[in-house]
């Protein structure tokens, strides 16, 4: 099993550009989530999903969209990148009934100029 995979590993964007961060898991997990990690702060939840077709907002959803058309994939879309979105983005997944035990992808480092 590959676990949770994320692409790309690194990305540089200009202000106003859009892009999609990809996340996939092969563990048949129902729960998936996106976090951002900034220096001196804990991980902050952007969006999460408890199953295909179901998504909900986390603590910091503004400027981001998600969709969950399959159990495996949970892409995160930046609509119009801003320098404040410079961060490390982690995708995580968890099995049904054990959503607190989260398995993380390797992260995407995003720089917005």
Residues at the site binding another protein, with contacts judged by CB under 8 A:
31, 35, 40-45, 48, 50, 56, 58-59, 90, 99-102, 104-107
**Close Cβ partners of 100 (under 8 Å, ≥ 6 residues apart):** 94
Minimum CB–partner distance for residue 15 and another protein (Å): 25
14/40 with CB nearer another protein: 40
The least CB distance from residue 76 to another protein, in Å, is 15
Q: How many CB atoms lie within 10 A of CB 66?
A: 23
Complex with another protein: residue 17 or 58, whichever CB lies closer:
58
Residue number, 17 or 104, with CB nearest to another protein = 104
Q: What's the closest the beta carbon of residue 74 comes to another protein, in angstroms?
A: 14
Helix then strand then coil, in percent of the chain rounded to 5, is 5, 50, 50
Find the angle CA(56)-CA(66)-CA(78) to the nearest 5 degrees. Answer: 125
């Amino acid at each position: 099993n590959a676990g949770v995979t994320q692409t790309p590993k690194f990305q540089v964007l200009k202000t106003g550009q859009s892009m999609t961060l990809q996340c996939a898991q092969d563990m048949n997990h129902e729960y998936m989530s996106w976090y951002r990690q900034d220096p001196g702060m804990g991980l902050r939840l952007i969006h999460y999903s408890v199953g295909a077709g179901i998504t909900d907002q986390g603590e910091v959803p503004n400027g981001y969209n998600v969709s969950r058309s399959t159990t495996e994939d949970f892409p995160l879309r930046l609509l119009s990148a801003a320098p404040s979105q410079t961060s490390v983005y982690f995708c995580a997944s968890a099995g049904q009934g054990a959503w607190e035990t989260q398995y993380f992808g390797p992260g995407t480092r995003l720089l917005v100029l």
